[in-house]
């Protein structure tokens, strides 16, 4: 059987939460389409993106190989808002053509040679097609059973041949890749992530991107009292996360001298929370300049001394802007598993000179009092200091 029996390689995308939206669903779909096109901009050909009911189909130029179609499918798997990515074949709307494509699809497969159980599952979005879904299943399934001798298992098949009848064509495929789920980036506004070099903040950024938030990244460097290692690490983390949203921006504030001032205040046990409050004040000023509506941190309740309930409350008091904490109820094992899955864990575990090591009291305060922290800030003129720090902001642009 020739390649023409399989039709044309394409990619079929299944939507998640977007299909549950009401009157503004079209806006979500338009944003998702724009994000898909942006994710594919590095390919040297134009992908035809077509919206269907609950499905987006990516049609590729004539002559596109299966390998290139695989690469397109792999790239869009990082785009939030999609729950399944299927490398499909676009087939003529004819029952005979569909059957031929299904037969060709299973040719030369190792699992078929092993005699795996199978089922055919059809979905008929276009009710004008001459066969019902059940009739397609029986017809195609019977042909496959005759040719390959595979056992049929309708409840728990090892191999599923999927057939979806659409408006202008039929899609035939097996298997698929899970997508990121969630909402399209850009549908929930803009936020600013306080990006350390640790494990937690990149995962927090990813979780908020999945909720439709477009994020910028703000890193506090210990410069001039530390090297640029932490900046390089933050840069690498942002590059890894950029796959999920594109056009990411990393901003860096040199924070070493401000830390020195906090340390000189003599409030050793409150130094960490004082530093954290100043970071939040600075981040709030930066967020306003970037037109971001919220700050994002990687706090997890009780994980370290600065993340007790009382200390988190003291940090919230420092700013008026909402602070989003998507990891607040997760433990370290769960956070590490997510970091491993999204590809940031290995980077986060690289050694670096974190600015927080400059303020490492022998015993940190776990129940900071807001009044005491405000007194320290009054002596430091923290509001003016935050504005000055925001003014020293530097952008590190991603290459490529």
What confidence tens digit (pLDDT) does each residue in 107-143 have?
Answer: 999 999 999 999 999 999 999 999 999 999 999 999 9
Number of structural domains, the chain? 2
Q: What is the pLDDT, as a whole number, of residue 182?
A: 97
Is omega for the bond preceding 15 within 30 degrees of 0, making it cis? no
Q: What is the pLDDT, as a whole number, of residue 356?
A: 57
**127 shares its domain with 254:** no
Q: What is the pLDDT, as a whole number, of residue 266?
A: 65
User: Is 184 within the bounds of a domain?
Assistant: no
User: Is 183 within the bounds of a domain?
Assistant: no
User: Is 232 within the bounds of a domain?
Assistant: yes
pLDDT tens by residue, 136-192: 999 999 999 999 999 999 999 999 999 999 989 999 999 999 999 999 999 999 999
**119 shares its domain with 240:** no
**256 shares its domain with 338:** yes
pLDDT tens by residue, 8-27: 999 999 998 998 888 899 99
Looking at the predicted structure, is the pLDDT value of residue 357 above 80?
Answer: no
Q: What is the pLDDT, as a whole number, of residue 1?
A: 34
User: Is 2 within the bounds of a domain?
Assistant: no
User: Is 80 within the bounds of a domain?
Assistant: yes
**138 shares its domain with 223:** no
**75 shares its domain with 148:** yes
pTM: 0.93
**Domain span at 58:** 8-178
Instruction: Read off the pLDDT of each residue in 61-79 and give the average, rounded to a whole number.
Output: 95
Instruction: Read off the pLDDT of each residue in 90-98 and give the average, rounded to a whole number.
Output: 95
Looking at the predicted structure, is the pLDDT value of residue 380 above 60?
Answer: yes
Instruction: Read off the pLDDT of each residue in 29-50 and give the average, rounded to a whole number.
Output: 95
Task: Give the whole-angstrom CA distance, residue 130 versus residue 117.
Answer: 28
Last-in-domain residue among 178, 212, 239: 178
User: Is 109 within the bounds of a domain?
Assistant: yes
259 is in an annotated binding site: no
Q: What is the pLDDT, as a whole number, of residue 22?
A: 86
**215 shares its domain with 345:** yes
CATH (domain of 53): 3.30.2130.30
CATH (domain of 260): 3.40.50.620
Residue 199 CA from chain centroid, whole number: 15
Looking at the predicted structure, is the pLDDT value of residue 263 above 90?
Answer: no
Residue 307 CA from chain centroid, whole number: 25
Please state, for a pLDDT cut of 70, what percent of the chain lies above it.
Answer: 96
User: Is 348 within the bounds of a domain?
Assistant: yes
Instruction: Read off the pLDDT of each residue in 300-325 and give the average, rounded to a whole number.
Output: 94
195 is in an annotated binding site: yes
Last-in-domain residue among 178, 203, 231: 178
**194 shares its domain with 155:** no
53 is in an annotated binding site: no
**205 shares its domain with 121:** no
Residue with the bigger pLDDT between 213 and 352: it is 213
Rounded alpha-carbon distances, angstroms, from residue 76 to 1, 28, 35, 68, 217 = 30, 17, 9, 13, 23
Residue with the bigger pLDDT between 249 and 354: it is 249
307 is in an annotated binding site: yes
**203 shares its domain with 97:** no
Judged by average pLDDT, the poorest of 59-63, 145-149, 229-233, 356-360 is: 356-360
6 is in an annotated binding site: no
3-state secondary structure string across the chain: CCHHHHCEEEEEEEECHHHHCCCCHHHHHHHHHHHHHHHCCCCCCCCEEEEECCEEEEECCCCCCHHHHHHHHHHHCCCCCEEEEEEEEEECCCHHHHHHHHHHHHCCCHHHHCCCCEEEEEEECCCCCCCCHHHHHHHHHHHHHHHHCCCECCCCCCEEEEEEECCCCEEEEECCEECCCCECCCCCCEEEEECCCCCHHHHHHHHHHHECCEEEEEEEECCCCCCCHHHHHHHHHHHHHHHHHCCCCEEEEECHHHHHHHHHCCCHHHHHHHHHHHHHHHHHHHHHHHCCCEEECCCCCCCCHHHCHHHHHHHHCCCCCCEECCCCCCCHHHHHHHHHHHCCHHHHCCCCCCHHHHCCCCCCCCCCCHHHHHHHHHHHCHHHHHHHHHHCCEEECCCC
What confidence tier does 2 reach under pLDDT thresholds 50, 70, 90? very low
Q: What is the pLDDT, as a whole number, of residue 360?
A: 59
Cβ 1 vs Cβ 107: under 8 Å: yes
Last-in-domain residue among 178, 210, 234: 178
User: Is 344 within the bounds of a domain?
Assistant: yes
**273 shares its domain with 387:** yes
Instruction: Tell me how many degrees the CA angle 213-284-323 measures, rounded to the nearest 5.
Output: 55
**351 shares its domain with 214:** yes
Task: Give the whole-angstrom CA distance, residue 252 versus residue 238.
Answer: 12
What confidence tier does 260 reach under pLDDT thresholds 50, 70, 90? confident
**136 shares its domain with 253:** no
Maximum CA pair distance of the chain? 85
């Amino acid at each position: 059987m020739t390649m023409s029996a399989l039709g044309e390689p394409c990619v079929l995308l299944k939507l998640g939460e977007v299909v549950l939206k009401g009157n503004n669903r079209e806006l979500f779909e338009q944003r998702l389409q724009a994000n898909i096109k942006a994710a594919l901009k590095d390919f040297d050909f134009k992908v035809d993106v077509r919206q269907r009911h609950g499905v987006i189909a990516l049609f590729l130029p004539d002559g596109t190989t299966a390998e290139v179609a695989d690469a397109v499918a792999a790239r869009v798997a990082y785009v939030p808002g999609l729950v399944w990515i299927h490398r499909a074949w676009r087939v003529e709307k004819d029952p005979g053509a569909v059957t031929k494509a299904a037969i060709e699809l299973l040719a030369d497969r190792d699992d078929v040679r092993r005699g795996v159980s199978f089922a055919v599952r059809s979905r008929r979005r276009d009710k004008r097609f001459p066969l019902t879904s059940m009739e397609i299943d029986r017809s195609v399934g019977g042909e496959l059973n005759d040719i390959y001798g595979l056992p049929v298992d309708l409840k728990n098949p090892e191999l599923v041949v999927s057939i979806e009848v659409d408006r202008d064509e039929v899609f035939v495929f097996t298997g698929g890749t899970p997508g990121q789920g969630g909402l399209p980036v850009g549908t929930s506004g803009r936020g600013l992530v306080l990006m350390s070099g640790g494990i937690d903040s990149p995962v927090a950024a990813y979780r908020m991107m999945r909720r439709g938030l477009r994020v910028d990244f703000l890193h506090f460097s210990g410069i001039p009292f530390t090297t640029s290692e932490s900046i390089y690490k933050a840069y690498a983390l942002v590059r890894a996360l950029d796959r999920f949203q594109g056009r990411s921006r990393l901003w860096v504030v040199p924070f070493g001298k401000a830390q020195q001032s906090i340390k000189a205040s003599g409030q050793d046990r409150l130094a960490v929370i004082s530093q954290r409050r100043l970071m939040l004040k600075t981040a709030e000023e930066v967020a306003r300049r970037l037109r971001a509506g919220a700050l994002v941190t990687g706090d997890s309740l009780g994980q370290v001394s600065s993340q007790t309930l009382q200390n988190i409350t003291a940090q919230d008091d420092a700013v008026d802007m909402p602070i989003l904490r998507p990891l607040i109820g997760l433990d370290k094992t769960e956070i590490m598993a997510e970091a491993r899955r999204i590809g940031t864990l290995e980077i986060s575990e690289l050694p670096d000179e974190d600015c927080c090591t400059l303020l490492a009291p022998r015993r940190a305060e776990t129940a900071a009092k807001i009044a005491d922290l405000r007194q320290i800030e009054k002596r430091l003129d923290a509001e003016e200091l935050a504005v000055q720090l925001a003014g020293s902001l530097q952008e590190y642009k991603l290459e490529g």
